[in-house]
Amino acid sequence: MGEAKRRRQWRDQNPEAEPMTEAQAITNIPQDIRDDIATAIQSVTLMRPGGTCAITNLLGLTCLSGLGIDASIELGGMVYRAGPDERHDVVAWCGPYNAGMVLSTLQALQDGISPEQIALLNTSGEEPDSRGILGHVWIKLGDELIDFTPGKWRSELDRLLADGDDGFPPITWEVEPPRYIWGPRRDYEKPADSDARTPDPGNAWYMGWLGPAPSLEQLRAPLREAPMYLRIIANNLNAMRIAERLRDAQS
């Protein structure tokens, strides 16, 4: 969705919200404002089957855009190490190779197709089904990575595993995930010289995507069903005077 369309959507769904500013390169956002933006984004309870990273961070993207913060969405794999065991004590929103992928890519790997050949799979030009994703969605702001979902990872896993056993022992939560992540992208990359399967406890790696990926329009589809979420978040942002505080911080 283009910037102008996002702004029109914001105005249509939030008629009482403060007017949008023009998109600009807002930098050096103070920590207290980051904390309050995250609080506003996380103020809604998402009742959806499956994972909620896409809708949460797309809500975040829409609200950041409404504040004049020009960001974008990224897809990939994510692994977070919560405890001592590098295999069992891990939150893994990814497929093989710690990469994000659609289910058709996973099937191709299981059928013996190499990762190097995966890029040739989508020869029809059709977009893959975004409902079958093994991966994660986050926000890119310049050289920074933003993810409003870490505080829900533990409860999300409990919910997803409530109806079955994944075959692994329960995660030992020695280090709880942060409430949200907003920091330099390089701090969340796997070191080039590392042969470890997962990061050290308390750390997260945001990895790449393998194979064909769903479009942003496909990922945004749930937002059309949930304008109330945007209204609640907009009201909370206004109550905390986020737009005004941002302008003061940038002046």
pLDDT in tens, the chain (251 residues): 444 555 555 556 555 555 444 334 456 799 999 999 999 999 988 766 667 898 899 999 999 999 999 999 999 999 999 999 999 999 999 999 999 998 888 888 998 888 877 766 654 445 555 557 899 999 999 999 999 999 999 988 887 776 555 667 789 999 999 999 999 999 999 999 999 999 999 999 999 999 888 888 888 877 776 788 889 999 999 999 999 999 898 87
Contact 140, 73 (CB under 8 A): yes
Domains, the chain, in order of start with CATH, read 3-250 (3.10.550)
The pLDDT value recorded for residue 48 is: 64
Give the number of other Cβ atoms within 10 Å of residue 130's Cβ.
Answer: 20
In 3-state terms the chain splits into helix, strand, coil percentages (rounded to 5) of 40, 15, 45
The pLDDT value recorded for residue 163 is: 58
Token reading at 24: 């600009």
Which H helix or E strand runs over 134? strand 133-134
Phi, psi of 10 (to 5 degrees): -60, -45
DSSP string, 208-219: -B-S----HHHH
The pLDDT value recorded for residue 25 is: 47
Alpha-carbon separation of residue 3 from 56, 73, 92, 104, 190 (angstroms): 19, 13, 32, 31, 32
The pLDDT value recorded for residue 125 is: 47
The pLDDT value recorded for residue 3 is: 47
pTM, two decimal places: 0.83
